[in-house]
Structure 1
Amino acid sequence: MRVLIVEDETLLAQSLQTLLQRKGFEVEVAYDGNTGADYADTGIYDLLILDVMMPGLNGYELARHVRERHSAVPILMLTAKSDLPDRIEGLNAGADYYLTKPFDIVELLACIRALLRRQGGQVDQLRFGDVSLDLAGGKLCCGEKSVRLSAKEFDVMRLLMQSGGSNIPKEVILTHVWGFESNAVENNVEVYVGFLRKKLKSLGSRVSIAAVRRMGYHLEEAAS
């Protein structure tokens, strides 16, 4: 499960990142609202944790930005602003839960688990067009046919399906699948996209991986 933390208090953000990574989450951090919006727009996260008062877009503005793009990703707000009008504004902006600072770690983890449970089938399966990605079995399925994916193929396909047809830059795929410190280059992304295209074709799917020059990849579905 991927979590994005948008928090300008560096120590708190890094402490939360370490905590959630120890619990098995993949976690990224942005330290201002504008960068957080850029990250969130990729559509690859299972949960957003937002501070309210931060540079650029504040938490309310960022939550509205996410919801205006019709994203249903769970949003947890962390803030020192505990007055009732502040909590109401956060919920009206699109937050699913509003946790005030200082908070108890046990309560935070309980909130995260509750929000992720609300995603239902999305936790076990992703769908786009006539294909589904079995998150537990690592298989790509279309109708009665299925094909098992390698670890890297699975990670690339998951990103593409989570984006819901939005374009994902090559560098974003490279970072999320191979990691910041990897020696992999953009050609690695091209190779695995090629593998996935062949597997989609072997399944007889109407879904294809489209490339936009200098911008990356996204999924498309041909008319039936």
Structure 2
Amino acid sequence: MRILVIEDERLLADSIVALLKGDGYQAEAVYDGLDGLSQAKLDIYDLIILDVMLPGMNGFQIVKELRNNHIGLPVLMLTAKADLDDRVRGLDLGADYYLTKPFESIELLACVRALLRRQKEEVNEITFGDLHLDLSGISVSCNGESLRLSSKEFDVLRLLMQAGSSNIPKARILDQVWGYDSEAIENNVEVYIAFLRKKLRNLGSSTKIVAMRNVGYHLEIENEN
């Protein structure tokens, strides 16, 4: 599970990231509202932990923009304000839950687990073109045929299907799938892209993984006008 933390207090943001990683999640922090929105729009995350007061763009504006773009991933908002009006405003704009600073680590992790559990119950499949990725069964299907994926194949294909026709840089795939602290190299991405291309061919899928030199990878539907 991948979590994006958008928080301008760097010490707090980095502490949350460390806490999440310690609990088995992949997490990264962004310290500015505009950068956070840009990152969130990649739609490659399972959850966003979002501060209200941010430079560039506040948390309310970010939630509104995400929902206007039909990005429905869960949002856990953090605020130093305990004012009821702020909480109501955030929830009305599309936030899923609120935590008021300061909070306990166990409370934050409990909220994260609850929101991710709810998200998994609501979304069990991602589709793009003729491909259907089963999030619970770790398999991909096309035209009634299904193939099991390895964990890395699943993670790479999930990123690609979530991004769709938008390019994902090779370095980002490496970071998101293998982790920032991994000793894996970009060649690992190329190897798994090759594995996935073979499996998509075996399924007879019209969805292709396209490489753009010095840009990244994206999906295309063959013969799409």
TM above 0.5, one fold? Answer: yes
Question: Where does residue 78 of structure 1 map in the other structure?
Answer: 78
2:58 match: 58
Cα displacement (A) at 1:44: 0.8
2:203 match: 203
Please give the alpha-carbon distance, in whole angstroms, between the structure 1 residues aligned to 2:97 and 2:211.
Answer: 37
8 Å contact from structure 2 (residues 41, 71) kept in 1: no
| In structure 1, distance between residues paired with 2:166 and 2:70 | 12
Q: d(CA) in 2 for partners of 1:164 and 1:114?
A: 28
- 1:37-186 aligned at under 5 Å gives the runs 37-121=37-121, 124-182=124-182, 184-186=184-186
Cα separation, 1, equivalents of 2:195 and 2:106: 42
Once residues 155 and 108 of structure 2 are traced to their aligned partners in structure 1, the CA distance between those partners, rounded to angstroms, is: 27
* Shift in Å, 1:49: 0.4
In structure 2, the residue matched to 1:7 is 7
TM-score (norm 2): 0.85
User: C-alpha displacement at 1:187, in angstroms?
Assistant: 4.4
Q: How many residues align?
A: 224
d(CA) in 1 for partners of 2:21 and 2:189? Answer: 25
Distance apart, 1:124 and its partner CA? 4.5
CA deviations on 1:70-103 (whole Å, 9 max, x unpaired) are 1001111000122122223322332122221122
Which ranges in structure 1 are unaligned for 5 or more consecutive residues? none
Query: Are the equivalent residues in 2 in contact too, given 1:42–1:167 (CA < 8 A)?
Result: no
Q: Distance in 1 between matches of 2:69 and 2:161?
A: 16
Deviations 1:51-75 (A, max 9, x none): 1112222211222232232100111
Q: Against the structure 1 CA distance between its residues 21 and 124, is the aligned structure 2 distance closer, same or farther, given a 3 Å change threshold?
A: farther
Q: Aligned to 1:118, what secondary structure does the other structure show?
A: helix
C-alpha distance in structure 2 between counterparts of 1:65 and 1:164, whole Å: 19
Cα 1:41/1:52, change in 2 over 3 Å:
same
More displaced stretch, 66-75 vs 114-123: 114-123
Contact 1:43–1:164 at 8 Å: present in 2 too? Answer: no
Cα distance in 2 for partners of 1:211, 1:136 equals 28
Equivalents in 1 of 2:136, 2:93: separation in Å?
A: 33
Structure 2 gaps, min length 5 = none
Q: TM-score, normalised by structure 1?
A: 0.85
The alpha-carbon distance between structure 1 residues 119 and 183, as it changes in their structure 2 partners (threshold 3 A), is closer
Please state how far the C-alpha of 1:145 moved relative to its aligned partner: 1.9
Q: Distance in 2 between matches of 1:5 and 1:20?
A: 10
In structure 2, the residue matched to 1:219 is 219
Deviation at 1:182, TM superposition (A): 4.5
Q: Distance in 1 between matches of 2:182 and 2:110?
A: 33
CA distance in 1, matches of 2:45, 2:81: 25
Q: How many Å separate the matches in 1 of 2:86 and 2:186?
A: 44
| Counterpart Cα distance in 2 of 1:112 and 1:7 | 16
Q: Is the 8 A contact 2:6 2:49 kept in 1?
A: yes
Cross-structure match for 1:20: 20
The whole-number CA distance in structure 2 between the counterparts of 1:92 and 1:123 is: 22
